[in-house]
Structure 1
Amino acid sequence: MKDEQENTGDKPVTRISADEIASEEVVQEMLEKYDKESQVRKFGAKSKIGLLISTIAVSFSLFHLWVAGFGALEAIKLRSIHLTFVMVLIFLLYPARKKGMKGKPGIFDWVMIALSLVAGLYMVFANEQLALRGGLPITRDYIMGALGILVVFEAGRRALGPELPILGVIFLLYAYFGEHVPGSFGHSGFSLKRIIAHMYVGSEGIFGVALGVSATFIFLFILFGAFLGETGMAKLINDSSMAMAGTSPGGPAKVAVVASGIMGTISGSAVANVATTGAFTIPLMKSIGYKPHFAAAVEAVASTGGQFMPPIMGAAAFIMAEFLNIPYKSIMIAALIPAFLYYLAVFAMVHLEALKTGLEGVPRDKLPVMKVVLKERGHLIIPLVAIVYLLIQGVTPTYAAFYGILVAVGASFLRKSTRMSWRGFLLALEMGAKGSIGVAIATAVVGFIVGVSSLTSLGITLGDNMLALSQGNLFATLVLTMITAIILGMGMPTTAVYIVGATIAAPALLKLGIAPLAAHMFVFYFGNISNVTPPVALAAFTGAGIAGCSPSKVGWTAARLATAGFIIPYMWIYSPALIAQGGLGEVIGALVTATIGVIALACAVQGYMLKTTNSLQRILLLVAAFGLIKPGLLTDTLGITVLIVVYLWQRFQTRSMNTKEINV
């Protein structure tokens, strides 16, 4: 098939052939299989139901834009309206059973929509009366609360799957039957009325901080990503990545790392990122000689890292800022070095794999020209620059996202080819609203877990028991926390994993003297890494579907490529300078040694430095890596010394081989 060309008014940009791009059917199949949020009913734009859904979604986005830019609502009212919109969309889009994917909403769906409107909006109108009663609920409040809890659980089951709602039910049962729980976890138990009031009427349950962050920061950043997508940002990322790294050894794999990292910081979903970016990069990696399972693993690992890549990280990062009561820019700055180290390690591994297997890059004539790409679409980077500037200046994320959206629309008009049409504007509003559904309902369901933890002091109890199990040893406690976050991440969205982990695991780290930011970042990171951790590694499984290979093989390969990701969080616990906690000299010193350390780790994992390593060299590289990773003059000196020894050893071997070849 001939390559397609796009005339940009200067030099034609040669495109990758269509044979090297996965079909939309494959992408959609993978999303529906591994991404619960994509398992929705499909309606034509001209159908009555389709038009109703589009109208509600657009209204949802316009409401949040109005609140962010011009309006002001009490927190409980904003959260109630936000949740109501979300639940109505869920019952229209998500069937009660998978068999109903192709059918229209039935009677049960419409009943649930009616209950969503009643229970969701009740707090908007009853809030003043509740305040006059001093927060004391009456019978009507309990009835509405019970309805609200049931509706939220059903909406969560449909949009997220059963795992998180089941965990929420277990926590509610724990609150009610606490007197029957043996040991230190037992408590006096709470009445049904007390539990309903705490979960629905109070500010620590459904309508707690997590849902509040979804209704302010998260929604607008998802909407911002939708507007960037509609202006053609994905095309800019793919083309510029190909132009930068396409010709180097194993170029397409490096393109996947760069493009997926940038796309992930906008999309916030590892699975969706693999399905979209991977549709282009995985077939391309296969076409130059990468094995299918390796190509899929590279994409999965790169896409997973997007959730902790500043400036726009995953939704959990905004919730972390609210939990810790610190500016979001502090989270963003703290994540910079860990994100750099993570992607450096992945980049080094794909480079070493290419050298080891003799893979070459894509011919220059099949790649876009950077000058032409920037001329045609370079202006689309302006909204990202604007958001970073505003966040650094201390503007709240809400305003930063709001003005970022305005800048994105304005920037699109700088070139005719990127100009956003009225239809594109409405589509961005619709897709932004739909994209927020999963995160929003997850924060509502997680409210039950957070609410029960605050009601029963479960978080403190779990922290004490974790410390008892680890006998107060920091490393053992870190391992237990890591395992907890990874297991939770196998069945729940990353945002929910962080909130639960921050509630039940982080307190143990805090009791051992770990700084709150370092402890919460630790939980956040491992909640993300669960996407590439077997046996359930959804990002890896999605990549396997596109590559057409064994999900298990991709999962274990992805875990190997993400080795640095399993180590980096431990690094900043023992050396807080890696999350920018400390003086400038200390931060730079830690960065330099950690950088050398992750490169040594990549060489050890891949078994290649200047040439293929033998077993002893590989062991020495691991010693060097861990010596450099662990802070301290002694360990750093040991690590550098061992690394130099291996380098000189390999250099001597390479020269000896070259001499033999010349003599032959």
Structure 2
Amino acid sequence: MKRRLLIAWIFLQLYMSTLSKMDAMTLRGIHLLFVLSLSGLFFIDHKKLSYVFAGLSASALGAFIYLYPQLSLTGGRLGPVHIYLGLAIILLLLVMALRVSRELAYICLFFLSYLYWGRWVPGILGHGGFSLYRLCDHMVWGSQGIFGLGAGVSMSYIFLFVIYGALLKESGFIQMIYQFSHRFLDRSQGACAKMAILASGLLGMMNGSAVANVATTGTLTIPLMKKSGYSSEYAAAVESAASTGGQFCPPIMGAVGFVMAEYLSIPYSRVMVAGVLPAALYYVSLFVQVHYEAKKAGILGDLVREDFDFWDLLPLLSILCLIVLMLMGYTPIYSVLWAILVLVVTMQAHPRRKFRGKEFFDGLEEGAGWP
């Protein structure tokens, strides 16, 4: 059942991001309904409790979606039902945040407490305090809180780009990066560390996640660096630094680039172009650092040159399509949908990695968070 729900959510998200005529708050409510319900099913270990949490989340968010259009007809005046429902949604989000990241949940709880009890804070940090009415109005029923810009960016941009990154992984993009690195860095001094930087940078361009980047590339690059002569600490530091840089590497730049474009009301292509120089300087500095560390420690190039197959370059066509479309001024949603289509179509020509049903749905499930 979880798998079917996940697949249904993926296709519903694709519809909402492209063809839906629903208003923004309804779309964000549906997005959060699935996110919170599926998170309960995946992250709560106790089976009965997971179903209870998923049911409560679906009920609360479903009630929000139903009541929000009616609220606009009353001039935004909240009744007791709206306040209780708002508090329930906040509580459900805090419970799930505790399961996913306790630190994040504590930060949210601290600032929510500060909003309510700020009247008792002395000095310049004190304020008049928010009533429960004002707290719910701002955090739940307004467009500045839970259903604000962050939910909008997650619903429209981030979801599609994460799906695209997962499909790229299924297409053999990571293996292509390793082959490329082995081919051109095999005899360079400190080749293993340079391969780690290149692989993490190229992968980070497409997934924008430092943690996922380390988990994907680090399992191979860190042992190679240690074997070539780098210390364990230095190998881990190189991989961490290289993976972190992926968060500001065009074209995806993590979620921050999309949020910046929304806040500044400028095309995403401008944010992407502005990020090219800082990203290039960052990775050049990493290359220089590991090169001179290798010279200092006497570490030579010891990668085995691998044959490079032309067919393994096919995923690059979709990346090129994505970059060109965004530079031409098309929206990120339009660009990434075309990139996904180009990836799926071109991979049918690959003699060993055709995108059949299994590979396609595996990529969708991984992108949507299937454990």
Shorter-chain TM range is: over 0.9
- Maintained 8 Å contact 2:315/2:343: yes
Q: Aligned equivalents of 2:21 and 2:195: distance in 1? A: 43
Deviation at 1:80, TM superposition (A): 0.7
2:72 is equivalent to residue 131 of structure 1: yes
Aligned partner of 1:418 in structure 2 is: 353
2:41 is equivalent to residue 77 of structure 1: no
- Maintained 8 Å contact 2:17/2:155: no
Aligned partner of 2:335 in structure 1 is: 400
Which SS does the other structure have where 2:317 is aligned?
A: helix
Q: Aligned equivalents of 2:233 and 2:129: distance in 1? A: 51
Which SS does the other structure have where 1:201 is aligned?
A: coil
Q: Aligned equivalents of 1:186 and 1:382: distance in 2? A: 56
Which SS does the other structure have where 1:313 is aligned?
A: coil
Aligned partner of 2:159 in structure 1 is: 219
Deviation at 1:425, TM superposition (A): 1.1
Q: TM (normalized to structure 2)?
A: 0.96
- Maintained 8 Å contact 1:256/1:298: yes
Deviation at 1:231, TM superposition (A): 1.0
The letter of the residue matching 1:416 is: P
Q: Aligned equivalents of 1:73 and 1:390: distance in 2? A: 26
Aligned partner of 2:305 in structure 1 is: 367
Q: TM (normalized to structure 1)?
A: 0.54
- Maintained 8 Å contact 1:65/1:402: no
Deviation at 1:416, TM superposition (A): 2.3
Deviation at 1:333, TM superposition (A): 1.2
- Maintained 8 Å contact 2:174/2:203: yes
The letter of the residue matching 2:9 is: F
Q: Deviations over 1:50-100 (max 9, x none)?
A: xx22112211211121223333321111111111111111111112xxxx4
Q: Unpaired segments of 5 or more residues in structure 2?
A: none
The letter of the residue matching 1:362 is: D
Partner of residue 47 from structure 2, selected from 90, 105, 108: 105
Q: Aligned equivalents of 1:296 and 1:111: distance in 2? A: 41
Aligned partner of 2:184 in structure 1 is: 244
Deviation at 1:382, TM superposition (A): 0.8
The letter of the residue matching 1:129 is: Q
Q: Aligned equivalents of 1:267 and 1:212: distance in 2? A: 19
Deviation at 1:246, TM superposition (A): 2.3
Q: Aligned equivalents of 1:186 and 1:294: distance in 2? A: 46
Deviation at 1:111, TM superposition (A): 1.9
Aligned partner of 2:325 in structure 1 is: 390
Q: Aligned equivalents of 1:269 and 1:376: distance in 2? A: 27
Q: Which runs of 4+ in 1 moved over 3 A?
A: none
- Maintained 8 Å contact 2:40/2:53: yes
Aligned partner of 2:199 in structure 1 is: 259
Q: Aligned equivalents of 1:127 and 1:155: distance in 2? A: 23
Partner of residue 93 from structure 2, selected from 125, 129, 152: 152
Which SS does the other structure have where 1:413 is aligned?
A: helix
Partner of residue 39 from structure 2, selected from 75, 90, 101: 90
- Maintained 8 Å contact 1:90/1:158: no
Which SS does the other structure have where 2:293 is aligned?
A: helix
Which SS does the other structure have where 1:299 is aligned?
A: helix
- Maintained 8 Å contact 1:413/1:419: yes
Q: Deviations over 1:105-132 (max 9, x none)?
A: 22x3222111100111223222221111
Aligned partner of 1:56 in structure 2 is: 5
Deviation at 1:414, TM superposition (A): 2.0
Change (3 A) 1:69 1:410: farther
Which SS does the other structure have where 2:47 is aligned?
A: coil
Partner of residue 282 from structure 1, selected from 206, 219, 222: 222
Partner of residue 312 from structure 2, selected from 342, 364, 377: 377
Aligned partner of 1:176 in structure 2 is: 116
- Maintained 8 Å contact 1:261/1:302: yes
Aligned partner of 1:273 in structure 2 is: 213
Aligned partner of 1:591 in structure 2 is: none
How many residue pairs get aligned? The number is 371
Aligned partner of 2:17 in structure 1 is: 68
Which SS does the other structure have where 2:306 is aligned?
A: coil
The letter of the residue matching 2:90 is: I
Structure with larger Rg:
1
Percent of matched pairs sharing the same residue:
39
Deviation at 1:166, TM superposition (A): 1.4
- Maintained 8 Å contact 1:329/1:391: yes
Q: Deviations over 1:554-591 (max 9, x none)?
A: xxxxxxxxxxxxxxxxxxxxxxxxxxxxxxxxxxxxxx
- Maintained 8 Å contact 2:64/2:85: no
Q: Aligned equivalents of 1:403 and 1:157: distance in 2? A: 37
The letter of the residue matching 1:334 is: A
Partner of residue 58 from structure 2, selected from 99, 117, 120: 117
The letter of the residue matching 1:54 is: R
Which SS does the other structure have where 1:418 is aligned?
A: coil
Equivalent runs, 1:371-520 vs 2, <5 Å:
372-373=308-309, 375-434=310-369
Deviation at 1:156, TM superposition (A): 1.5
The letter of the residue matching 2:18 is: G
Deviation at 1:261, TM superposition (A): 0.4
Q: Aligned equivalents of 1:422 and 1:283: distance in 2? A: 34
Q: Deviations over 1:129-171 (max 9, x none)?
A: 1111122122221121111111011111112x11112111211
Aligned partner of 1:537 in structure 2 is: none
Deviation at 1:266, TM superposition (A): 1.7
- Maintained 8 Å contact 1:308/1:335: yes
Q: Aligned equivalents of 1:91 and 1:362: distance in 2? A: 47
The letter of the residue matching 1:94 is: F
Which SS does the other structure have where 2:13 is aligned?
A: helix
The letter of the residue matching 1:126 is: L
Aligned partner of 1:349 in structure 2 is: 289
Q: Aligned equivalents of 2:111 and 2:227: distance in 1? A: 50
- Maintained 8 Å contact 1:61/1:432: no
